[in-house]
Amino acid sequence: MTVSSSHPASEDEDHVREFLTGDAREVAPLLLGAVLTHHSPDGPVSVRITELEAYMGPGDSLHPDPGSHTFRGPTRRNAPMFGPAGHLYVYFTYGMHSCANIVCGPSGHASAVLLRAGEIVDGLPLALARRPTSKSAKDLASGPARLATALGLTTADSGRDALTHPFSLELPPAPVAGVSAGPRVGVAGDGGSHDYPWRFWLTGDPTVSRYKAAKVRSA
């Protein structure tokens, strides 16, 4: 067989991309157990996803999502969320942390899944070097900013394709058993008490971030 000069997508890549083009609320629980790898110049680190959250786009009359960064429409920062599925949306927050999403849905539909926690399954020494304050291997990626740091992701990676070099994403061979769902963390929704159950995690997994209820803002 011959090799085309235009780097054709593999069947695997096509399959993963098509899967991610679905509704983020359906994609999210099925992404549990998936392995995201970043091959940085310093070496590879792989994370098995154990917790994530779905964020929907603007203009969904059934489920308006004030918690989404795209709620007020496209901006320079959130532009990748309006792009094709499978790309990264990385944002910087609290003056010091980066958090990473995988974009879902067809282009124009700004939905994504926030990677909230995972288990380091490859590149443990490098992940440790990136997160020297972590107290145990379980803490290396037990939070969205921790996960992004352990993988070496920054806003420079926002908009890049998570399915091609230097990244790769492997879906679990079969949907994982033992999935829990609940309200998202740190998002006050429409007032705090009616948050959507769009956070998914592997029940009982030790790497899942410790739950903290969304801060309720008084007007």
Q: In this structure, are residues 155 and 91 in contact, taking their beta carbons and an 8 Å threshold?
A: yes
Q: CA angle at residue 72 from 67 to 76, to 5 degrees?
A: 105
**Residue 126 within binding range of DNA, rule CB under 7 A:** no
Strand partners for 202: 179
Nearest to 169, CA basis, from 53, 12, 11, 8:
12
Question: Closest CB to DNA among 9 and 24?
Answer: 24
Question: Closest CB to DNA among 37 and 134?
Answer: 134
Please state, as a whole number, how many other Cβ atoms lie within 10 Å of the Cβ of residue 205: 20
**Residue 19 within binding range of DNA, rule CB under 7 A:** no
Which stretch in 41-49, 132-140, 190-198, 199-207 sits in contact with DNA by CB under 7 A? 132-140
Q: In this structure, are residues 214 and 198 in contact, taking their beta carbons and an 8 Å threshold?
A: no
| Residue selected from 145, 151, 176, 208 as contacting DNA according to rule CB under 7 A | 145
Beta carbon of residue 51, minimum distance to DNA (angstroms, whole number) = 11
Which stretch in 18-26, 74-82, 119-127, 173-181 sits in contact with DNA by CB under 7 A? 74-82
Q: Are strands 43-55 and 111-122 parallel, antiparallel or unpaired?
A: antiparallel
| Residue selected from 91, 196, 198, 201 as contacting DNA according to rule CB under 7 A | 91
| Both structure tokens of 154 | 């920054």
| Residue selected from 17, 87, 131, 199 as contacting DNA according to rule CB under 7 A | 131
**Residue 167 within binding range of DNA, rule CB under 7 A:** no
Residues 6+ apart with CB under 8 A from 163: 13, 16, 17, 86, 169
Q: Which residues bind DNA (CB under 7 A)?
A: 53, 55, 67-70, 72, 75-78, 81, 89, 91-97, 99, 101, 112, 114, 131, 133-134, 139, 143-147, 155, 184-187, 209-210, 215, 217
